[in-house]
Amino acid sequence: METKRNDMTPHEAAAALRWLAEMGADEIIGEEAVNRLAAAASAGAPVLAAKAAMPAPVVAETRHSHAPATPSQAAACGSLAEIAAALDAFDACPLKKTATRLCYADGNPAARVMLVGEAPDRDEDIQGKPFAGRSGQLLDRMLAAIGLSRTADDRENAVFITNLIFWRPPGNRTPTEAETQMCLPFLLRTIELQKPDVIVCLGVTPAHRLTGRSDGMLKMRGRWTTANISGRNIPLLPTLHPAFLLRQPAQKRLAWRDLLTLRQALDAH
Ligand code: URA
């Protein structure tokens, strides 16, 4: 196969690689580069050829080519498996184009407790399940300390875990409002179908989206509030995100208090 000569200097090549890493292309997933954003992806294109094509179509599609929200697709789903299938087939969200795979949910669908995080990170993008990386390992240890687990079979000790956003934003950037609005109906339908007794929000963003409040995390964490989902008021407890706790280990004592608050509520009902 004829290879096109690359006339980049080593300095330019290093800058281009840094740019790709910042955009979230930080994992080699195949021998051949595939530009998934090009209309007709050409297998065998040089890796760095993706550079010029990447950001522009994503932004253009967000603004122009798709109907914004997705309530009807989500509402049509009658089970969590159908939501996963609908998300898999859902091409309107630009994040899907840059993500490796869908990251929808993990844990026991019968669980009393639903955890809602923010968005998949690198490990979740690769494995396709929420909280699969270091923050997930910390989360699992925190849950175990109050007798909960994503692998438990009985609903009393189990948790179900999902996120506000179902595909990794490139370079872990903040999702746009349009991207969030596209994912939100699927999260709301997930809550309707999973019917948790309580929701625990990991981080302030899902807490804001599900409660309509805009208070800061330090005001909201550890205090019960409610999410009104289709006329049902579900107790919701915001707590600190495990990734924040990895960066600020001294704050783990606050998270521990929140976990005890959760444990008490579960024991009382
Ligand atoms: N952070 C989140 O909010 N969710 C994940 O799934 C992983 C990291």
CATH code (residue 221): 3.40.470.10
Among the atoms of ligand 1, which is closest to the Cα of residue 164? 3
Share of the chain above pLDDT 70, in %: 77
Sheet hosting strand 198-202, strand order edge to edge: 105-107, 159-163, 113-117, 198-202, 232-239, 225-229
Secondary structure (3-state) at 128: coil
- CA of 232 from ligand 1 middle (Å) equals 26
- Examine residue 20 and state whether it is found in any structural domain, yes or no: no
Q: What is the pLDDT of residue 158?
A: 98
Q: What is the pLDDT of residue 15?
A: 72
Q: What is the pLDDT of residue 14?
A: 75
Q: Given a cut of 80, is residue 237 above it in pLDDT? A: yes
| Reported pTM | 0.77
Distances in whole angstroms, Cα of residue 133 to Cα of each of 61, 122, 129, 137, 241:
30, 8, 10, 6, 13
Q: What is the pLDDT of residue 26?
A: 56
Q: Sort strands 113-117 and 105-107 into parallel, antiparallel or unpaired.
A: unpaired
What is the rounded CA–CA span in Å between residue 252 and residue 246? 9
- Examine residue 34 and state whether it is found in any structural domain, yes or no: no
- Note down the domain range covering 79: 70-268
Among the atoms of ligand 1, which is closest to the Cα of residue 203? 3
- CA of 203 from ligand 1 middle (Å) equals 9
CA angle at residue 104 from 103 to 110, to 5 degrees? 145
- Examine residue 244 and state whether it is found in any structural domain, yes or no: yes
Nearest CA owner, ligand 1 atom 6: 130
Q: Contact at 8 Å (CB) between 133 and 178?
A: no
What mean pLDDT value characterizes the chain?
Answer: 84
- Examine residue 193 and state whether it is found in any structural domain, yes or no: yes
pLDDT band at 8; cut points 50, 70, 90:
confident
Structural domain count, the chain: 1
DSSP 79: S
- Examine residue 12 and state whether it is found in any structural domain, yes or no: no
Structure tokens at 46: 């040089």
- Examine residue 258 and state whether it is found in any structural domain, yes or no: yes
- Examine residue 7 and state whether it is found in any structural domain, yes or no: no
What is the rounded CA–CA span in Å between residue 214 and residue 151? 33
Q: Is 40 exposed, middle or buried (0-12, 13-18, 19+ CB in 10 A)?
A: exposed
For the packed helices 177-194 and 204-211, what is the interaxial angle rounded to 10 degrees? 70
Arithmetic mean of pLDDT, 195-210:
98
Q: What is the pLDDT of residue 103?
A: 98
pLDDT digits (tens, 9 = 90+) for 21-76: 655 555 555 555 655 445 433 433 333 222 222 222 222 222 333 344 567 899 99
- CA of 117 from ligand 1 middle (Å) equals 5
Q: Contact at 8 Å (CB) between 206 and 130?
A: no
Share of the chain above pLDDT 90, in %: 73
pLDDT band at 11; cut points 50, 70, 90:
confident
What is the rounded CA–CA span in Å between residue 200 and residue 232? 16
Q: Contact at 8 Å (CB) between 222 and 258?
A: yes
Arithmetic mean of pLDDT, 99-109:
98
Q: Identify which of 3, 37, 7 has the alpha carbon closest to the alpha carbon of residue 20.
A: 37
- CA of 23 from ligand 1 middle (Å) equals 17
pLDDT digits (tens, 9 = 90+) for 149-173: 999 999 999 999 999 999 999 999 9
Q: Is 181 exposed, middle or buried (0-12, 13-18, 19+ CB in 10 A)?
A: middle
Q: What is the pLDDT of residue 10?
A: 77
